[in-house]
Chains A and B, each alone.
Chain A
Amino acid sequence: SEQPNSLTMSVYGPVVKIHPVVLASIGDSYERRNEGASRVIGTLLGTIDKHSVEVTNCFSVPHNESEDEVAVDMEFAKNMYDLHKRVSPSEVIVGWYATGFEITEHSVLIHEYYSREATNPIHLTMDTALQSGKMNIRAYVSAQMGVPGKTVGVMFTPLSVKYKYYDTERIGVDLLQRTRDAPNTTNGLTSDLCQVGGAAGRVQDMLATVLTYIEDVLSGKQMADNSVGRYLMDLVNKVPKITAEDFETMLNSNINDLLMVTYLSNLTQAQIALNEKIVVL
């Protein structure tokens, strides 16, 4: 029953893809931990395919840890998983997470429990106490090691962690990024033209960076890089070459469409307001 390590590794490939909602959830459960608990653990849910594991959800599991023993509320874990399954039937248990920097002996025990729930579970650690100044998000798989038949131990081999976003997730995260600049204040959601203005501003910033680079190269302060030069050519050629008249007609027809629609919606709103006043008479 000993499977060679390379085979188990190739079942998943060495990549774990994590969605930001999982990390935010872990951070939140760490903040809400019980008095005296130094770390929190929980189950990771997600999907497994041929090349990688994608972690899309998680929930925390209450547990007690002391010097000599560890107790995990397995009943709770099973219950929660059932509840979650009713909402997303395609998510399965892919592993478990723990906050903190090290892998302790207790982790080995917990990992064994999770091995019963999922084949080859992933162990994710997130250093929420920021011991090394960073959050150090790491993932591991366990592998047997030692002399077979005699002393056998478990080794946690690291996997590479990648982050995966859905498009809408990325837009959500962009909005959340804004709170990090002014940590004690709150941020409202912008509207309408402000958003377009903001996006245009961002593009402008990027163009400014590119321009400074170009000027540096021209004045000799920086070495010219051919690949960057090719990208720049692409960029300049991306603006489509349309004759002025054609562009005028396209622009005008689009603007007319939009104006017409605006006029119609204003008309409709006036109509329903009138209708209401008349009925009430």
Chain B
Amino acid sequence: MATPTLDSPVKQIQIEGLVVLKMIKHYQEEGQGSEVVQGVLLGLVVEDRLEITNCFPFPQHTEDDADFDEVQYQMEMMRSLRHVNIDHLHVGWYQSTYYGSFVSRALLDSQFSYQHAIEESVVLIYDPIKTAQGSLSLKAYRLTPKLMEICKEKDFSAEGLKKAMIGFEHMFEEVPIVIKNSHLINVLMWELEEKCTVADKHELLNLSSSNHLEKSLQLLMDRVDDMSQDIVKYNTYSRNLSKQQQQKHQYIQRRQQENAQRQTRGETPLPEEDVSKMFKPPQPPPRMDTLLIAGQINNYCQNVKEFTSQNLGKLFMAEALQGHNS
């Protein structure tokens, strides 16, 4: 995903430790398996920084009346939090992800409505599986201004996208994150360290990688399959379109010939029929989905490359250790 453009209103995200802990806890308790957990971020905007100071989770989508509950839940939560002096400005939302698959239509729509209402909002993607492997994986994304334009127009056709010259790399922009804690929390950290030295499990130096790689590659293959289906659809569409153009031309020519013949014979020419109604142009396939799939594939590839580079490093270290031994 691309680096932030110069004209975006938010250059950096500052998160408090509390938010990080709350997100981790939310996924841990409520989101086992490949379910996605979501929540709202609260905070404020300071110059070109977006400070996130608190958050609250959303209940899972249940079978009974999800929509009405959500809005009401949110309103009540924000009202209550205001009573205890917590920043109640809505600045974005967070979502957990499964092996990095989050580029979807739903995400796009949600982020668009957020960014439309509040210009600086972001979506925080928390990857719990990568975090469990040793280091916190948290990324912040916004839609690029180009993509915002397109969503506003709701023009997802091929011409529209061509005009805007959007590639899958220009859909989302990543915003760098920093973590800041207040002094009181720092004191708390010192105390925790003293009271409870949990043994470091060093998951980060774990050598076993095949499980993670397998799953990532599986997801990548699925997406590539989707993409190839899409390409096939597009190809058939262009073929159909060109065939239809040919038919149209032939029809018009025949008509003209007939009319010329009739004129020579002195009969009234046949009425000009509406050619376009007879040959309905085939539906062009939606390009937006292809773009999303391409973006998702790109994301998977990036993750896989990060993973392999880490593992190569670890393998070389293991080699050095073994070399020393023998």
Using CB atoms and an 8 Å cutoff, list the residues of chain A in contact with chain B: 19-21, 23-25, 27-34, 56-57, 59-62, 73, 76, 79-80, 83, 86-88, 90, 128, 130, 134-135, 137, 162-163, 165-177, 179-180, 183, 186-193, 195-197, 199-200, 202-203, 239, 241-242, 244, 247, 251, 254-255, 257-259, 261-262, 265-266, 268-269, 272-273, 275-276, 279-280
Name the B residues within 8 Å of A60 (CB-CB). Answer: 84
The answer to whether A62 touches B77, judged by C-beta atoms less than 8 angstroms apart, is no
Looking at B141-149, B171-179, B269-277, the stretch in contact with chain A turns out to be B171-179
Interchain nearest-CB distance for A25 vs B (Å): 6
In the assembled complex, which residues on chain A have CB atoms less than 8 Å from the CB atom of B198?
165, 170
Does B35 sit at the interface, judged by CB under 8 A?
no
Complex Cα gap A260–B91 (Å):
42
Residues of B within 8 Å of A176, CB to CB, are 17, 20-21, 179, 181, 185, 189
**Which chain A residues border B265 with CB–CB below 8 Å?**
none
- Which chain A positions have C-beta within 8 A of B186? 179-180, 183
**Nearest chain A residue, comparing its CB with the CB of B79:** A79
In-complex Cβ contact of B25 among A19, A86, A163, A199 (8 A): A19
Cα–Cα, bound, A83→B161 (Å): 43
CA separation between A187 and B20, bound complex, in Å? 13
Interface residues of B, count at CB 8 A:
103
Q: Is the pair B54, A28 in contact by a Cβ cutoff of 8 Å?
A: yes
B1 interface hit (Cβ, 8 Å): no
A258: chain B residues at CB < 8 Å are 209, 308, 311-312, 315
Distance in angstroms between the alpha carbons of A30 and B77 in the assembled complex:
19
Query: Would you call A23 and B192 a contact (CB within 8 A)?
Result: yes
Take A24-B21, A172-B20, A200-B317 as given contacts and tell me if A272 and B227 are in contact as well, using a CB distance cutoff of 8 Å.
Answer: yes
Residues of A within 8 A of B241 (CB): none
A74 CB, min distance to chain B CBs, angstroms:
13
* Interface pair B29/A86, CB less than 8 Å apart: no
- Is there contact, CB below 8 Å, between B179 and A196? no
Interface window among B99-107, B128-136, B248-256: B128-136
Interface membership of B34, Cβ < 8 A: no
Q: A168-B131, A272-B227 are in contact. Are A242 and B322 (CB under 8 A)?
A: yes
Verify if B116 is at the interface (C-beta below 8 Å from A): no
The reply to whether B177 and A189 form a contact with Cβ atoms under 8 Å apart is yes
Q: Is B278 in the interface zone, CB < 8 Å from A?
A: no
Residues of B participating in the A interface, judged by any CB pair closer than 8 Å: 14, 16-18, 20-22, 24-30, 53-54, 57-60, 69, 73, 76-77, 80, 83-86, 128, 131-132, 134-136, 138, 158, 161-162, 165, 167-168, 176-193, 195-196, 198, 200-205, 209-210, 213, 217, 220, 224, 227, 231, 234, 287, 290, 294, 297-298, 300-301, 304-306, 308-315, 317-319, 321-322, 325-326
A268 contacts B58, C-beta separation under 8 Å: no
Contacts A169-B28, A175-B136, A183-B183 given; does A265 touch B17 at CB 8 Å: no
* Known A190-B135, A258-B315, A279-B158; further 5 A-B contacts with Cβ < 8 A: A23-B192, A135-B187, A187-B178, A195-B310, A258-B312
Query: Contacts A32-B86, A165-B198, A258-B312; is A244 near B181 (CB within 8 Å)?
Result: no
Contact of A76 (CB < 8 Å), options: B83, B191, B287:
B83
Distance in angstroms between the alpha carbons of A7 and B18 in the assembled complex: 37
Interface-centre pick from A25, A28, A29 (highest chain B CB count, 10 A): A28
In the assembled complex, the CB of B113 is this many whole angstroms from the nearest CB of chain A, namely: 22
Question: Is the Cβ of B77 less than 8 Å from the Cβ of A195?
Answer: no
Docked Cα-Cα span, A59 to B73, in Å, equals 16
At the interface, is chain A mostly helix, strand, loop or mixed? helix
Residues of B within 8 A of A28 (CB): 16, 18, 53-54, 182, 185
The residue of chain B having its C-beta at the shortest distance from the C-beta of A176 within the complex is B17
- Chain B residues lying within 8 Å of A175, measured Cβ to Cβ, are 20, 135-136, 179
Give every chain B residue within 8 A of A279 (Cβ-Cβ): 158, 234, 287, 290
Using known A-B contacts A176-B189, A177-B193, A268-B220, determine if residue A280 contacts B162 with beta carbons closer than 8 Å.
Answer: yes
CA of A167 to CA of B77, assembled, Å: 29
Q: Identify the closest chain B residue to A262 (Cβ).
A: B308
The closest CB in chain A to the CB of B86 belongs to A32
Residues of B within 8 A of A172 (CB): 17, 20-21, 24, 131, 136
Name the distance in Å between A85's Cβ and chain B's nearest Cβ: 9
A180, B189: Cβ atoms closer than 8 Å: yes
Residue on A with the closest CB to B181?
A: A179
Q: Is the CB of B24 within 8 A of A166?
A: yes
Contacting pair A261 B325 (CB below 8 A): no
**Across the interface, do B205 and A34 meet the contact criterion of CB distance under 8 Å?**
no
Bound CA–CA A229/B53 (angstroms): 48
Residues of A within 8 A of B312 (CB): 255, 258-259
Question: Which 7 A-B residue pairings sit nearest by Cβ, starting from the closest?
Answer: A186-B178, A265-B301, A21-B21, A32-B85, A176-B17, A199-B204, A163-B196
Distance of B211 from chain A, by nearest CB (Å): 13
- With both chains docked as a complex, state the minimum distance between the C-beta of B225 and any C-beta of chain A, in angstroms: 12
Question: In the complex, what residues of B have CB within 8 A of residue A57's CB?
Answer: 25
Contact B301 A163 (CB under 8 A): no
Contact of A186 among B180, B184, B315 (CB under 8 A): B180
